[in-house]
Amino acid sequence: MQIDREREPSGRVPSEQVEPFPIPDRLPVFPLPNLVFFPKTYLPLHIFEPRYCQMVTDATIGGQCIAMALLKEGWEPDYYGNPSIYPILCVGRIVSVQPLSDSRSNILLQGLERPVSANEGR
């Protein structure tokens, strides 16, 4: 099965190539226990823990991106430290932030896709 990366979902060929969103070299990681995030999808999140509120603030000032990770089983004892995560992440671009009271916010992430070079996948 091949995927035609030149076509839009409607089947139309775009008149111009859209530049990929620049992904920063370093990203904060937001791990969750029951969520896998994929490219080309959208993910609404309610941000309420102080450390993740700060992460969203920093990301909106910086590169607009965070990495979503799936926590490995047995994460509970080390949740506030450095719990184990699976090695494959999805980068999400923060496309909207709705500030709420007490530093909380609702955000919307867009899953980004890594650009594929002409020689890759052959």
What CATH number does residue 33 fall under?
2.30.130.40
Q: Residue 8 pLDDT > 60, yes or no?
A: no
The reply to whether 42 falls in a domain is yes
* Average pLDDT score over residue span 102-121: 79
Mean pLDDT value across the chain: 83
Q: What angle do CA 95, 36, 17 make, to 5 degrees?
A: 45
The reply to whether 17 falls in a domain is no
- The answer to whether the CB of 97 falls within 8 A of the CB of 82 is no
Which residues form the domain of 57? Answer: 29-111
The reply to whether 119 falls in a domain is no
The reply to whether 19 falls in a domain is no
Number of domains in the chain: 1
pTM over the 0.85 mark:
no
pLDDT in tens, 53-111: 999 999 999 889 999 999 999 999 988 888 999 999 999 999 999 999 888 999 999 99
